[in-house]
Amino acid sequence: MLTQQPTTTASLLTRFRAVRSATMSFCQPLTPEDLMVQSCPEASPVKWHLAHTSWFFETFILSEFLTAYEPFNPEFRWLFNSYYKSLGEMPEKKLRASFSRPPLDQILAYRCYVDAAIERLLEQTPDEEALRRIALGLEHEQQHLELIATDIKHALFTNPLHPAYIASAASPTSQENIAPPLDWVSFTPGLPSHPGIVDIGITPDPASLETFAFDNETPRHPVYIAPFQLGSRLTTCAEYLAFIDEGGYTRPEFWLSEGWDTMRSEGWQAPLYWHPDTATKSGWSVYTLHGFRSLDELSETPVCHLSFFEADAFARWAGHRLPTEFEWEFVAAQQPIAGNMLESEHLHPTVASNTGDNPPQVQQLFGDVWEWTQSPYTGYPGYKPLPGALGEYNGKFMSSQVVLRGGSCVTPQTHIRATYRNFFSPGTRWQFSGLRLARDGAS
Ligand SMILES: [Fe+2]
């Protein structure tokens, strides 16, 4: 056990308060009834998220590290378990909308109870592992804050009245904003002595508690990346509409076999939240967290709520491809972590900037939309899951999933980094997921 520096504990407490209150702030516009809705298999009710994030702190930190800690309610240990099978049984995910009991005031009291206990723990100079777990709990809370945003978007869209999450917020874009033309930026990774060889991922310093990374980002290791070009910005709605208008959803030559079958069986004809609307020039309206907007108004914004299959089909139609996760990280590691994220309060992707850079630069790497890559989600060489039940956090999902990079417009800014690997099944559309094009060779 290392001796704790007071600054580490103090900064963690500050971060704990900020992250926990950010979750509650986001829920402010929602009614108690909104908090109960579970409108698709991927989503959970907001009320469940509020309880489960507290469960995480109680189960993995307070029960193990706070002397004489008494659980708020012993039933919650299994009731709000999500998928940690080594902890025992849990309710089926699809039943979460039936949790009208415990009532909301108990869930809110549970959050306060856990908050107070974490503060007591931090006052007691906890050991290093407790601090690491609190840091993990905060990253977990931020992941669930993003899920609250995407789950409530789906819930409100499913409501026949299609209410907005916030009706009065600023529009995601203005009609005067035009995205710059797509440029290609060339990269030749590696050194002349080792062309193409670069290090990817992160090996955190075991003596430092300041740098957080999930186990799936580790260890740092060399990979080979051939010369490549990356699109200077994200693909826009206007570009995606051209794919639709050229029969993209009816031409099997662009689709992976599983993608074609999924698209046909699900009846997809456009991204999730696009709705035919003859009153608009484009023929579509798009549901946003601000309510429906004409696609005419959003045409220059990055396209979002695409499955991997749709992103991949678009790239083939365009004559290019999706980047690998290593190409993406190689470029992102050279850039500051800045962009349209949750704190900007747009709650929707925004138009790329006309920077006038010559030569062109890559922009929109962080925020706006999670970028589908072509990389399967697997462990890096030497990957080791966390010990114990926490080993179920990431590692057990390393089959049949695809990596996304960069965060979205509802990702908290302090949550994202160049090495961060998100992952979803290739048919997933309810996240803010879009794409950036790539192609082989450097010019
Ligand atoms: Fe969770």
Instruction: Give the H or E element holding residue 229.
Output: strand 228-231
Report residue 52: phi and psi, to 5°: -65, -40
Question: Does the pLDDT value for residue 3 go beyond 60?
Answer: no
Structure tokens that stand for 297 in this block: 């108004």
Identify the pLDDT of residue 357: 87
Identify the pLDDT of residue 35: 98
Please choose, from the candidates 409, 406, 421, 437, the residue with its C-alpha nearest in 3D space to the C-alpha of residue 337: 406
For residue range 237-274, list pLDDT tens digits in order. 999 999 999 999 999 999 999 999 999 999 999 999 99
Return residues with CB closer than 5 A to ligand 1 (ion).
82
Report the separation in Å between the CA atom of 159 and the middle of ligand 1, taken as the mean of its atom positions. Answer: 25
DSSP 130: H
Report the separation in Å between the CA atom of 15 and the middle of ligand 1, taken as the mean of its atom positions. Answer: 19
For residue range 28-46, list pLDDT tens digits in order. 999 999 999 999 999 999 9
Identify the pLDDT of residue 209: 81
Report the separation in Å between the CA atom of 111 and the middle of ligand 1, taken as the mean of its atom positions. Answer: 15
Question: Does the pLDDT value for residue 173 go beyond 70?
Answer: no
Round to whole Å and give the CA distance between 13 and 220: 29
123-131 long-range contacts, Cβ below 8 Å, gap at least 24? 124/66, 124/67, 125/4, 125/9, 126/4, 126/9, 126/65, 127/1, 127/4, 127/65, 128/1, 128/2, 128/4, 128/209, 129/1, 129/65, 130/61, 130/64, 130/65, 131/4, 131/8, 131/9, 131/12, 131/209
For the residues 274-301, what does the mean pLDDT come to? Answer: 97
Report the separation in Å between the CA atom of 140 and the middle of ligand 1, taken as the mean of its atom positions. Answer: 6
Question: Does the pLDDT value for residue 96 go beyond 60?
Answer: yes
Report the separation in Å between the CA atom of 144 and the middle of ligand 1, taken as the mean of its atom positions. Answer: 7
pLDDT band at 425 (very low <50, low <70, confident <90, very high): very high
For residue range 50-66, list pLDDT tens digits in order. 999 999 999 999 999 99
Report the separation in Å between the CA atom of 247 and the middle of ligand 1, taken as the mean of its atom positions. Answer: 39
Dihedral, 250, 256, 258, 264 alpha carbons, nearest 10: -10
Is residue 216 packed enough to be buried (19+ CB in 10 Å), middle (13-18) or exposed (0-12)?
A: buried
| Cβ contact 53:141 at 8 Å | yes
Report the separation in Å between the CA atom of 80 and the middle of ligand 1, taken as the mean of its atom positions. Answer: 9
| Cβ contact 315:322 at 8 Å | yes
For residue range 327-365, list pLDDT tens digits in order. 999 999 999 999 999 999 999 999 999 988 889 999 999
Residues with Cβ within 8 Å of 241's Cβ and at least 6 positions away in sequence, in order, are 282, 284, 295, 299
Identify the pLDDT of residue 285: 98
Report the separation in Å between the CA atom of 84 and the middle of ligand 1, taken as the mean of its atom positions. Answer: 9
Question: Does the pLDDT value for residue 174 go beyond 80?
Answer: no
Round to whole Å and give the CA distance between 328 and 40: 30
Report the separation in Å between the CA atom of 324 and the middle of ligand 1, taken as the mean of its atom positions. Answer: 27
Question: Does the pLDDT value for residue 1 go beyond 70?
Answer: no
Identify the pLDDT of residue 170: 55
Structure tokens that stand for 334 in this block: 């050279």
Report the separation in Å between the CA atom of 350 and the middle of ligand 1, taken as the mean of its atom positions. Answer: 28
Identify the pLDDT of residue 208: 82
